[in-house]
Structure formats: C-alpha cells, structure tokens
Structure 1
C-alpha cells in the first residue's frame, strides 16, 4: 500500500458499516480519505478518533440521490489544497427497501435506483474526470456490490434491490471496457458480499426482531472482512486488475 500513502480516496456512505470500516482502514494505511453521507456527525467523530493515524479523514455532507450534491462534493474536493482531486473512488453507499416488484411503491424503487445506480454512475464519471484532468493514470474505481447482483433469491422483499445491484454488475464491466478503449491504466474492482452484519437489514425491514433473527441465523461477515478485500485489491501490482471478488459467510447457502 506504500504507493497510496498521501493519496486521496473517496468513500461514499462512510458514516457506518462497511463504509466506516473502509474509511478507518485506509486512514490507518496513510491515505487522505474523504467520507461522505447525508449525516456526517458519525464521520466527524470517526475522524477525531483517527487523528493520530498516518492518514486523515475529511467529512463532506452529500445527498447521493441528488446529482447537484455529488458534483458540488467533487468541486469541494478539488478546491481543497490538501486534496485537489480523487485518486480512488469507492462506491460503497447503497440502500434497500422492502418493495416487491408486484406491490412495491414507486418512490421506494426510485430511491434505490437513485442511490444504488445513478449515484454510483455519477461518482464514477466525476472521479474519472478528476483523475483525467490531473493525469492520474493509476487510479482505482471500486464498487461495493452484493451477491444479490449476481443471483436472485426467492425473497420477495429483496427483488428490486437485486435488480439495482445487477445494474452495478453491468456498470463494473462497462467501466472496465471504456477505460480499456481509452488506453487507461485506471483499474476497477467490484466486491460482492453475502450477508454482512451491519445496519442494513434494520433499515430495510424496519423490524428490529426480524433483523436480529437474520443476523443470528448464521455466522455473518463483518464490515472489516469487506474492507480487507478492498485493501487486497488496492495493493495488487499495477499489472493486476482484480475485477470481481465474491465473499460469502462460510455457512451461507446461496
């Protein structure tokens, strides 16, 4: 990871769970991390906790469902003399609603598309433009995807979420192909976790007991397991592009 020391990584959805774990690890490894979320108090608290580490964590408030917020975030990063731009973009933020195909509410589908698909695409575009204008040819764009982006399980509440994550799978390969067409050496990686114990199920189901039952059904992955995979991909030699990483709990059947 030596070549990343002092360089800038954007982590979306950095206030909790996987995003917070990634932000913590990258700061400890010496990177300048920008963490964004609609609620940045937790990111600021994490930044204070990490103030004696090799890197730094800067919190920026951003509603990823709004393109204007995303574009302004990249402008803020560019105008900050200690940052100047993004070298690594980790598209981590995502959400799910219990909104089945046959009975879900349109506004819930739209929010999943806005955050899980459009925000990821906009951040990818803006990160690439940031790298291009600074002649950064060794950057890295990452997608925290899901096993739900590769198979559809018979769980009605997750079906539209799965559709949004299948789009992320397509975005990975599309981005890779476009970068190769441009003769760029910027790399892309998708990390697709299975069941990770975070706030995700609590927020999706809005049912604490149901979420607890799910997370106690098997030995789940932890947020740090996903962060370790991110670091693994980042530290690969420059001629190695790790495109797809699937991570399931050992006990998970699908």
Structure 2
C-alpha cells in the first residue's frame, strides 16, 4: 500500500530534496511551505512520479497550520510519515547583542511550528497505532557554540521534544527519531546572515554536505523494517569534527 508523507519546509534545501527522494520511491507527498510558486513548481515536477498535494501556510501560525491540515482531501488524510523539516537560523550574535525578532523567529519556527504541525497529525497516528515522525534537528542540538545561543537552544529543544514524543507515543507503536546534520550547503546561511556576503564564505574551502545527502539518509530511515527505529542520527561532512572544527583548504 502506498505511503503518504507530509514534509514541512518543502520549498528548498533538505525539504525539497526529500520530496524528490521520496517521489523516486513512489511515496505520495503533501508538501508544505510559505512560497506558493515554489510549491507549485515542485508539484509539477514530481507529479509524473507520484501523487502530490500542496499546502501553503506558515508553521508559526497555529490556526493556519490546523486549518491547512484539516483541509486535506480524503485521499491524503492518512499521513504515514511526518518530516518536521521547517526551521531557520537568524543572526549569529553574542547573547548581549541578539535581536529579539531573530530570537522570536527561531523559537516560533523551530520549536512552536514543529509542535503545531505535530499536534495536528499525531491524533490520526495514535488512532491507527502506526506512523513515523522524523524531526530535523542539527548538530547545534548536541553542543553549544559561540554566538549560537538561541539557535542552539531551539535545536536542543527539538531533541528534547523528539525524546518526549518517542516515550509518549511508544504505546501506539509510532516511530519517532531525529536527524541532526552538521554543515549542509543550502539557503540556510543566506537566511542566517540576511543575504550578507559572509554567507557565501561559509561553505568555502571544504566539501559540505548537500541537501541530497540528507534526503537519502531520511529515506533510509523511513525504509527500515517495522521493528527498527533509528532514534537519533548525527551526520557531518568529513571535513567537520564538531561545530567549530572544520578542515578547510584555500
């Protein structure tokens, strides 16, 4: 029976790459994001491989999130796989200079948005006693680095929520896990540094992970046998040893 996956943050980066990877393997898709044109472009590209439905909303808006998921047509209502991928970093400032707006954006998207989407989908999984939730964390959820303060806090929260979900949903046979990438070359740094030139230098001098690398890992995780749950996975590019140790060659 064909599975249905809902992916948040599907308009770029890891979310988009995961959509393409899942489509290759015949998984039906619900793609969520704020950029309608991007969603429509990806939908058109993937419809030749699988059935695709798009939802245009912002995970920070709890009513919009609930309404969007409740609006799903009957043939897309049974969600087998939830990929909580939507997330952002904003700024890289010491705690005394941090922007309240940046802090709000990170907590609202990375933590509250993940909770809003999960809250809307988990009840159908518990009712069926089946489902798989993957939360996209970060190596920043494993360690705190200079000027990472609130972003690291948001990703530590993702890991705590993941562990809490796994415990609470265990009686229902629902798989829950986190995938925590290190440096992945996506739009991430453009957002973090607000398009600043420094964003272009983040991935210079070494081979960073690519969104496709993480998408392939996500598919591996969801394709394990029913008795296997990959609960927590940390992945770095070979050049990276931890958040601040990266072997660069110029």
Are the equivalent residues in 1 in contact too, given 2:126–2:174 (CA < 8 A)?
A: no
Q: How does 1:30-179 map to 2 (within 5 A)?
A: 30-53=26-49, 55-77=50-72, 80-98=73-91, 99-133=93-127, 135=128, 137-154=129-146, 156=147, 158-179=148-169
Are the equivalent residues in 2 in contact too, given 1:218–1:251 (CA < 8 A)?
A: yes
Segment drifting more, 43-52 vs 203-212:
203-212
After TM superposition, where is structure 1 displaced by more than 3 Å over at least 4 residues in a row? none
Query: Is 1:17 paired with 2:10?
Result: no
SS in 1 for 2:120: helix
Are the equivalent residues in 2 in contact too, given 1:10–1:35 (CA < 8 A)?
A: yes
Deviations 1:106-164 (A, max 9, x none): 2221121111001111212221112234x2x231001010000000122x1x3211110
Distance in 1 separating the partners of 2:178 and 2:187: 21
Distance in 1 separating the partners of 2:95 and 2:67: 34
Which sections of structure 1, spanning at least 5 residues, go unmatched? none
Distance in 1 separating the partners of 2:124 and 2:103: 30
Which sections of structure 2, spanning at least 5 residues, go unmatched? 243-250
SS in 1 for 2:55: strand
Distance in 2 separating the partners of 1:110 and 1:146: 18
Segment drifting more, 67-76 vs 206-215:
206-215
Segment drifting more, 218-227 vs 38-47:
38-47
Tell me the number of residue pairs that the alignment of Structure 1 and Structure 2 aligns. Answer: 241
Distance in 2 separating the partners of 1:228 and 1:184: 27
TM-score of the two chains, using structure 2 as the length reference: 0.92
Match of 2:189 in 1: 201
Distance in 1 separating the partners of 2:175 and 2:59: 23
Distance in 2 separating the partners of 1:208 and 1:104: 17
Distance in 1 separating the partners of 2:44 and 2:29: 13
SS in 2 for 1:238: coil
Distance in 2 separating the partners of 1:87 and 1:48: 23
Offset at residue 104 of structure 1 (A) = 1.4
Offset at residue 9 of structure 1 (A) = 0.8
Are the equivalent residues in 1 in contact too, given 2:59–2:116 (CA < 8 A)?
A: no
SS in 2 for 1:241: coil
Distance in 1 separating the partners of 2:126 and 2:159: 24
